[in-house]
Structure 1
C-alpha cells in the first residue's frame, strides 16, 4: 500500500498528515462543524485535521498545472464553497487540477503555537502536491496557490515565507509556489490597514511586534517572490484595498511580476462573482496565467 493511500479519507480527499503525526497539535475537545449559513454558503469551523480535496479536470483538457485554494473566513471559519469548491471547478474547465485546502484554524486549545498552524498546512499542501505530482500527471514546476480574504493572507504567507520551512521536509522539496492569486486578501497586520479580526485570531489580542512584522506580508517581498495576481474592490470596508495596494507596491519595488484588478464596487467576500459588476475577474486570471505559460497546452 502506498503512503498516499494511507492518507486517503475519501475518493478525492486526502489527509495532509498521518493522524498521529500532525505537527504542532495537541489533544483537544474541538469538534469540526460544517453548516450552511443564512446565505446558503457552506461554512466549516473547528478544523483540527487538515485535508486536501482534489478536483480533477477532464483528462482531455488536463495540462499539468495545479493550484491549491485556501478559502477565507477570518482565520475563524472556512468559506468552503464559494471560495473553495466552486473555484476549483472553474479551474477544471481550464484543464487545471485544483486542490481545496481545509487548513487548521488557529486555536490555543488544539495547537502548541497557533500562529504557525495554518502556514504549516499551506506549506505541507505544496509539498504534498509536488511530491505526488506523478499521481495526477502534474508538472511539479507549475504548482500555484490561491486564497481569499484571510485565506489570501495564508496563501500570501506561503508566497513570501517559502525559504523557512515550518514542517519536516526530508526530501528538501521546494515550498515556493510558482504563482499566487490573492483575492481581497488580508496582507498587512499593521494597525493602520489590518483586518483586526484575522490578526487577533492568528496572533492574539496583544501580538508580539516581531510577529506583526513577520505576518505583514508587504514587508516580506523579495526578488524571489513568485508572480502574483491581485483582485480587490475599492469599497471593501472589511479588508481595505490598501492591503492589495501595499503588496503591489512592494512587488513592483522588487520587480516581481504582478497584476491588480480592481472593482469600483463589490465590497468583500463576493467569491468569483461580484454582483455589482458584469466583469468576471477570473477571465483576467486565465489570461494572466496563459500569458506567463502557467496554463500550458496539453503535452
Structure 2
C-alpha cells in the first residue's frame, strides 16, 4: 500500500510578512521594486533590489514540530539573494524535520543592471573596499535581522513556536546578519542560537563576544573562493575563548556558496550536522 506523503508532510503555502508597518527606517526614499534575475552570469535565481524587507514563512507539520524556528538570511554580497539554494531549499529540508522556517529578504544595494551577480563580483576583489562600501547597507540589513527575530518571537504563539527556540542562520553576507543579530543588546532581538554558514565577517569585531552570546554553529570549506576559512576559524576561537558553546565544521572541498545543492561531496552533509547539533543543544 502506497503512503500518501502529502498527508505526512502537508505543504503549507508560503506566507509573506512585511517586517515594518511603514517604510523601513533609513530607506524611506527608496522607490524601486524588488526583482528576480535568472539570466545572469551564474544562471541561478537571484532576488535583487530589495527595498521592502519581508519574511517568507514555511511551516512544518504541527505533529512533528518541537516549536523550533529558524530565520534564514541568504547570501549575495548585499547585492542579491540566493533565495533558492540558500533559502527555500534549506527551508524545505528543515520543515521535513519539524522545524519552522522564516526566510528573510533584507535590504540590498540597488543594482544598475539586470545581472546583480556580475555587478558584485568586482567589488569582492578587495575585502577592505567591499567592507567600506557595504557598511551602511550592512547596518540596515542587520536592523532587518533584529526586526525579524522580534517578529517571530513576538508571534510565537500564533505559529505554535517555543519563544526560547528561535534561531538565526545566515549564508555568506547573510552570515554577517547572523553575527550582527547575535550581538544584539536587546534580548528580544537576539536569537537563541546561530548558524553561520561560510559567513562574511566584514566589519564585525569578533573580539567582543557577549558573555551571553548564543550558541553558534559554523561551517565553511577550506578552499572557500573568498578565503573565508581563516576568518571562520578565528570566529570559532573567539566564541570558545568567551566560554560560549560553539561547533565548527571545515570541509576540504566545496568552494563558496555551496548552500544545499548536491555536489556529491562530504560538504553536502553540513545540514545534517547542523540538525544533529541542534538536537544536542536542546537536550542540554
Partner of 2:180: 157
Partner of 1:41: 44
SS in 2 for 1:54: strand
SS in 2 for 1:219: coil
Where in structure 2 are the equivalents of 1:1-299 lying within 5 Å? Answer: 12-18=15-21, 20-38=22-40, 39-106=42-109, 114-160=137-183, 162-163=184-185, 174-187=188-201, 189=202, 212=203, 215-216=204-205, 218-273=206-261, 275=263, 277-278=265-266, 279-293=268-282
After superposing on structure 2, the runs of 4+ consecutive aligned residues of structure 1 that deviate more than 2 Å are 28-31, 37-41
Summarize the Cα distance change of 1:11–1:283 in structure 2 as closer, same or farther, 3 Å threshold: closer
Task: Give the CA RMSD over aligned residues.
Answer: 2.2
Aligned length: 247
Contact 1:149 1:239 in 2 (8 A): no
Over residues 111-166 of structure 1, what are the superposed CA-to-partner deviations in whole Å (9 max), with x where a residue is unaligned?
xx534210110000000001111110001010000000000111111112x10x5x
CA distance in 2, matches of 1:227, 1:132: 23
Contact 1:273 1:280 in 2 (8 A): no
Structure 2: gaps (5+ residues): 1-12, 111-135
CA distance in 1, matches of 2:228, 2:263: 19
| TM-score with structure 1 setting the length | 0.77
CA distance in 1, matches of 2:84, 2:39: 11
CA distance in 2, matches of 1:74, 1:144: 22
Query: Which has a greater percent of helix?
Result: 2
Summarize the Cα distance change of 1:233–1:276 in structure 2 as closer, same or farther, 3 Å threshold: farther
Question: Which deviates the most, 258-267 or 218-227?
Answer: 218-227
Summarize the Cα distance change of 1:265–1:276 in structure 2 as closer, same or farther, 3 Å threshold: farther
SS in 2 for 1:136: coil
SS in 1 for 2:164: coil
Question: Which deviates the most, 272-281 or 221-230?
Answer: 272-281
